[in-house]
Structures are given as C-alpha cells and as structure tokens.
C-alpha cells in the first residue's frame, strides 16, 4: 500500500513538471504583457513536431533538440509580440482573447494540413526504461523531463531576479509607465517575455517527445491543466505556477489511484474550486518578488 501511494506521488510529480513548463509560460506572458495566451498549448505542439522531425530525419535525440526548439520558439515569440500582440495591447480583453484563440485554431488546422492527424512517436533508448529505488519505479524519460524542467524554471527565476533584463521585465510588469520613465523600453521587454514563454513551451514539447506522441491537437491536452495551475498558483506568479503544477500532478495521480481513473481531473478541479472559494487570488497572492 505504501509503495502504491509513493509510486502515485512520484508519477504525479513527474507529470507535474511538464504541466509546470506550460503554465509558467502562460503566467509569464500574463504577468508581464497582461495577455492570456490561449495558443500556448499549440506552441508545445510545434516544439514536439520540431523534435519529432529532427529525430526522424536526422536521428537527433529529442532532448538534444531542445537547443534548437527553444531558440526557434523564442524567435517566434518575439515576432508574435512585435507584429501581433503589440497591436492589441491597448484594445482591452476581448480583442486579445480573440487574437490568441484564433491563433490556436489556426495553428491546429495548419498542423492538420501539414502533418495530418497521425500520431508520431520517437523511440529512444530511455523511452521505456526506469530507475528502481527499492520497489519504486521512476521512468527515465519522465525523470529527465522533470529534471530539465526544474533546471529551466530555476534559470528563469535567476534571470528574473539577478539580471538587468529580468529586473526590467518585472518592473515593466509592475508599472509600465514608471518603467518607461526609468529608461526601460517596454516593447523590447515584452518581446523577450513572450519569447521566453514560448521557448519554455518549446522545451516542454521536446521533453515530452521521448514518451508522448505528437499530433495536432496535443497542445490542448496540456493547456487545460496549465490554465488551472496558473489560476491556482495566482495569475502572473511564476513560482506559484510551478508549485501549483506539481500539486496538481500529484492530486490527479492520487485521485486516479483512490477515487477512480476517470476522476483524476475531478480531484484537480475540486482543489481549484476550494482554493478560489477560500483564497480568491490563488495560493500565492501577488507577483513573486
């Protein structure tokens, strides 16, 4: 019994790491640019296809293709902010929602057209192996994904707190006008923020590829969990999104184990509703400083 519980917690933490990469991207864009990006999942999908095609055509390991998918998605993010998101910043919520939602639909359908609805998987030597800790099994591919996700989250934290650009980003998020008075160029800062958020989505895609199939709708599987994590961990709070993602992974896993395999999400949403009722601003009110 104890093994079963421990295994359920381990499984939950591991998938929570992936939720974290997606939700940190969403919360970063919201925190800095104040836009909810409904297309974040589709950028995970793009990351997966980049890794898939690099693996299928050039035999590049999906984990190595991180160094390609992240910069590519970063550039896409910068262009996205510069040419599209920037235009709707002053227009209020509705145009912003429509823009990112339309982008999500567009990307899914373009992917269907280009890549078809087929499932694509990559076989790696570690796709099916596991490390044993006594009676516990820790799947290799997921452990690597989790570890890299945590390292990337840590690097992001350092970036936001220890670099000028990171500090400028937080400043622009707090008060755009004052930041401008201090000589910060908000357009540049926003471009970097969206770029970083998309690079994280790309990383999530590459990290998923060794153990999850790619298909055009794959982003929607993860983006739902990401949005719950973002709300649970307080909108705009990077550390909050990370912790909430891990909590949700564990809650889902324990829910499947002890409530029912079709009730994992019920436990997660119960947690969300309870949090909203007791702490309307999420578990970690305020922007992480």
Partner 1 sequence: MAMTRSSTFAKRHGRRDFLKKSAGAVALATFGIAREAFATEPVNIGGLYPVTGSFAQIGQGCVNAAKLAVQMINDAGGIKSLGGAKLNLIVSDVQSDTTVTRTETDRLISGYKLSAIHGCFASALTLIASEVAERAKMPLLTGSSSDQLNKDRHYTFTPFSRASQFALAQLQMSKLVSDTPKVAVIFENTAFGTSTSNGLREQAPGQGVEIVMFEPYSAGLTDAGPLINKVKASGANMLFPVSYLNDLILIIRAIKQNGLEIAINGGSGGFVIPDFYKNVGSVAEGLLGVAHWNHDVNTDAQKVNEVYKQQYGEFLFEYAGGLVAQTFMIADALERAASTDPEKVRDALSTLDVSSGYAAMGPGGKVKFGPDGKNIYAHPVGVQWQHADLAAVFPKDDARAPLIKI
Residue 136's DSSP bridge partners are: 133
* Termini Cα distance of the chain: 41
State in angstroms the smallest separation of the CB of 91 from partner 1.
34
120 near 213, Cβ under 8 Å? yes
39 lies in the site for partner 1, by CB under 8 A = no
Give CA 51 to chain center in angstroms.
16
Nearer to partner 1, 12 or 62 (CB): 12
Residues 239-258 that bind partner 1 (CB under 8 A): 252-253, 256-257
Among 72-80, 117-125, 227-235, 280-288, the segment contacting partner 1 (CB under 8 A): 117-125
- Give the one residue of 118, 164, 278, 280 binding partner 1; rule: CB under 8 A: 118
For 142, list phi and psi in degrees, rounded to 5: -70, -35
Nearer to partner 1, 113 or 278 (CB): 113
Residues 64-93 that bind partner 1 (CB under 8 A): none
Mask 135-154, x = binds partner 1 (CB under 8 A)? --x-xxxx------------
215 lies in the site for partner 1, by CB under 8 A = yes
For 159, list phi and psi in degrees, rounded to 5: -60, -45
Nearer to partner 1, 98 or 119 (CB): 119
265 lies in the site for partner 1, by CB under 8 A = yes
Task: List CB contacts of 22: < 8 A, sequence separation 6 or more.
Answer: 40, 41, 44, 200, 201, 204, 222, 223, 225, 226
Among 32-40, 54-62, 213-221, 274-282, the segment contacting partner 1 (CB under 8 A): 213-221
270 lies in the site for partner 1, by CB under 8 A = no
Among 60-68, 69-77, 210-218, 233-241, the segment contacting partner 1 (CB under 8 A): 210-218
Task: List CB contacts of 165: < 8 A, sequence separation 6 or more.
Answer: 159, 189, 192
162 lies in the site for partner 1, by CB under 8 A = no
Nearer to partner 1, 15 or 32 (CB): 15
Q: What's the CA gap between 189 and 204, in Å, rounded?
A: 23
Give the residue carrying structure tokens 């890549």. Answer: 115
Quickly count helices (H) and strands (E) in the chain.
12, 2
119 lies in the site for partner 1, by CB under 8 A = yes
What SS3 class is residue 8?
A: helix
130 lies in the site for partner 1, by CB under 8 A = yes
Token pair for 246 = 């891990």
What SS3 class is residue 288?
A: coil
Which residues of the chain form contacts with partner 1 (CB under 8 A)? 4, 7-8, 11-12, 14-15, 116-121, 123, 127-130, 132, 137, 139-142, 211-213, 215, 221-222, 225, 252-253, 256-257, 260-262, 264-265
């Amino acid at each position: 019994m104890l093994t079963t519980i421990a295994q359920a917690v381990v499984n939950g933490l591991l998938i929570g790491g992936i939720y974290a990469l997606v939700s940190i991207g969403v919360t970063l864009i919201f925190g800095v640019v104040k836009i909810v990006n409904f297309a974040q999942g589709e950028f995970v999908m793009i990351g997966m296809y980049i890794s898939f095609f690099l693996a299928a055509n050039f035999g590049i390991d999906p984990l190595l293709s991180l160094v390609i998918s992240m910069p590519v998605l970063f550039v896409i993010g910068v262009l996205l902010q510069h040419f599209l998101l920037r235009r709707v910043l002053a227009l209020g919520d509705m145009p912003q929602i429509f823009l990112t939602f339309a982008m999500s639909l567009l990307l899914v359908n373009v992917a269907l057209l280009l890549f078809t609805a087929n499932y694509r998987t990559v076989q790696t030597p570690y796709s099916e192996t596991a490390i044993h800790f006594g009676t516990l099994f820790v799947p290799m591919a997921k452990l690597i994904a989790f570890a890299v996700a945590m390292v990337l989250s840590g690097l992001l934290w350092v970036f936001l707190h220890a670099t000028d650009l990171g500090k400028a980003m937080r400043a622009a998020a707090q008060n755009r006008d004052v930041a401008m008075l201090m000589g910060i160029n908000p357009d540049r800062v926003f471009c970097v923020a969206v770029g970083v958020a998309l690079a994280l989505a790309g990383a999530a895609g590459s990290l998923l590829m060794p153990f999850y199939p790619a298909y055009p709708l794959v982003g929607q599987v993860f983006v739902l969990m990401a949005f719950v994590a973002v709300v649970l961990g307080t909108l705009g709070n990077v550390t909050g999104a990370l912790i909430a993602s891990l909590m949700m992974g564990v809650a889902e896993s324990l829910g499947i184990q002890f409530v029912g395999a079709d009730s994992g999400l019920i436990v997660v949403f119960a947690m969300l509703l309870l949090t909203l009722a007791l702490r309307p601003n999420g578990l970690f009110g305020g922007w992480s400083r």
